[in-house]
């Protein structure tokens, strides 16, 4: 027989006996030939998320173009981070199942598998970058020092004052506030 091309084909059967007599055609069986895998329209990089932004957040949505319905899954055993994610097989939404921490892992990778109704598959490798936030407490500021103009005691350094709104000096980490 010959190979059938992608698309819908009407199949009928006719029987021929040893004497060469042929039967009427059978009823038509319409079959669809689909050898084309889904094509990913979503990219290979998810939008970066902040560390410590929480577990259970949607971080990527797989999308494809195909002539039939597509289901999505994460490729297991791929030496990547797929175990840290889950995917909605119908919508393609990928969820990070843990709270990201840049210091532990600065990015994650996983592979989405798209399978169409005929069983054709395609894969999209995806990287999820994690934003590093300043999550370290600043160093303790210096001990406050009452400025001489606010010190009304017998000397400018005895830290005695009658000023109800005294002024102090000191040092602290840049861009931090001191109270």
Question: Do the strands 49-50 and 121-131 form a parallel or antiparallel pair, or are they unpaired?
Answer: parallel
Q: Give pLDDT tens digits along the chain (179 positions).
A: 688 888 899 999 999 999 999 999 999 999 999 999 999 999 999 999 999 999 999 999 999 999 889 999 999 999 999 999 999 999 999 999 999 999 999 999 999 999 999 999 999 999 999 999 987 888 899 899 889 888 888 887 888 888 899 998 889 988 888 88
Instruction: Give exposure, 99-119, as e/b (b: 16+ Cβ within 10 Å).
Output: ebebeeeeebbbbbbbbbeee
């Amino acid at each position: 027989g010959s190979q059938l091309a992608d698309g819908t084909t009407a199949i009928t059967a006719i029987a021929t006996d040893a004497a060469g007599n042929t039967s009427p055609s059978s009823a038509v069986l319409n079959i669809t030939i689909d050898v084309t895998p889904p094509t990913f329209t979503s990219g290979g990089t998810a939008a970066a998320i902040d560390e410590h932004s929480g577990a259970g957040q949607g971080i990527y949505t797989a999308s494809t173009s195909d002539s039939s319905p597509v289901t999505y899954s994460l490729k297991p055993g791929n030496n990547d981070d797929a175990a840290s994610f889950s995917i909605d097989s119908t919508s393609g939404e990928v969820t990070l199942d843990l709270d990201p921490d840049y210091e532990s892992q600065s990015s994650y990778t996983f592979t989405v598998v798209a399978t169409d109704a005929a069983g054709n598959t395609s894969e999209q490798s995806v990287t999820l970058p994690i934003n590093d936030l300043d999550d370290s407490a600043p160093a303790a500021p210096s001990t406050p020092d009452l400025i001489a103009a606010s010190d009304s005691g017998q000397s400018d350094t005895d830290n005695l004052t009658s000023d109800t709104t005294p002024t102090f000096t000191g040092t602290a980490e840049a861009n931090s506030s001191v109270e």
